[in-house]
């Protein structure tokens, strides 16, 4: 097989598309189709169901991602429900929930599922261990201002894109995907 020159990513987020294109070394085109996501605490299940739904509608090879943030002191929440937590509470609200917690360890995870043209699923996971800051610092997207990756004193929100990509769970998952693409020729 020959590596594709164009890949389809179920997102319309231009930043994600650019990052994926840079890491994968191919043109990455966004898919604007909206689907209903299942509710599950399992990020692999969420990403797989999402990928299968897109593939069933489009019948072409594509990939999806799902991002989760697991905070140890609240039993792994919000996990896959991070988007709902951010809409309901925002960064300040999450920090309020954690205000009396000394233990602020967290794991950020990106799960990518690629469905090939034959309908076979391929899974790639990137994880970043870190902690939750005491207050928001910097800008960025979503919870970037409150997540500090292990090995850094900066939040994702305080980092340049290059700095963030050294730690980013999305970057790790995309690099695993790229290794697989190079190895298999998909």
Farthest-apart Cα atoms in the chain, separation: 55
Catalogue the active-site residues. 66
What is the chain written as a DSSP string?
Answer: ----SEEEES---HHHHHHHHHHHTSEEEE-----PPPP-S-HHHHHHHHHHHHHHHH-S-EEEEEEEEEEGGGTT-EETTHHHHHHHTHHHHHHHHTTT-S--EEEEEEEEEEE-TT--EEEEEEEEEEEE-SS--S--STTGGGEEETT-SS-GGGS-HHHHHHH-HHHHHHHHHHHHHHHH--
């Amino acid at each position: 097989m020959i590596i594709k020159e164009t890949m389809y990513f179920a997102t319309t987020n231009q930043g994600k598309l650019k990052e994926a294109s840079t890491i994968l070394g191919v043109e990455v085109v966004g898919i604007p189709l909206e689907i209903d996501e299942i509710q599950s605490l399992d990020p692999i299940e969420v990403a797989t169901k999402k990928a299968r739904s897109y593939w069933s509608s489009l019948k072409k090879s594509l990939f999806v991602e799902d991002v989760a943030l697991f905070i140890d002191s609240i039993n792994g929440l919000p996990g896959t429900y991070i988007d709902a937590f951010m809409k309901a509470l925002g960064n300040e609200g999450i920090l309020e929930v954690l205000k009396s917690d000394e233990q602020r360890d967290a794991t950020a995870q990106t799960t990518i599922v690629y469905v090939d043209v034959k309908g076979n699923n391929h899974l790639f996971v990137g994880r970043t261990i870190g902690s939750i800051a005491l207050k928001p610092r910097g800008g960025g997207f979503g919870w970037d201002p409150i997540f500090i990756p292990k090995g850094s004193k900066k939040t994702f929100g305080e980092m340049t894109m290059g700095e963030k990509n050294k730690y980013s769970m999305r970057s790790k998952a995309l690099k695993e995907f790229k290794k697989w693409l190079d190895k298999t020729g998909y």
